[in-house]
Structure 1
């Protein structure tokens, strides 16, 4: 499953519209639609924002081609909110494994 498909499914399950996502992230509904329909690349900052807003999101699952969901259910209840710096470090470690 593609990253955009995972993110789209995640927000659909949460009941968030593209307008609501855009308003909370600080961009237009059209920008979110473009991200999720692969007309624009999803910026790393958007993924960091998702992790800040939804601490249960598993960064590795977003990037992994083997994973179809982006929330690790077993960790979701116990996950503490991470700082932006911690999230970026986690992204760096994961990307090092993929590059």
Structure 2
């Protein structure tokens, strides 16, 4: 159950961080205004709290692993929200990152 909880927390953290950054981007770059920026900043702040809920107690390990989740999640977000179509190298890179997440977080110790 701990691995499942960890994976769910990584997914929720990705939603908050990527979504928050996207909202700030929309507010600034697409001139959608301060409400979008404020919601983005709030989501980014919430991401910081969600990361602390990971079962592993090592900040560096969690943040390093989350980097791989962020890479893959960013591509998925861009596909869903911006119509981005990743090429085979984007997909290959994201899969390598997710393999790294698995090794960092879930390898036997």
TM-score band (shorter)? Answer: under 0.3
Q: Which has the higher helix share?
A: 2
Structure with the greater alpha carbon radius of gyration: 2
TM-score (ref. length: structure 2): 0.25
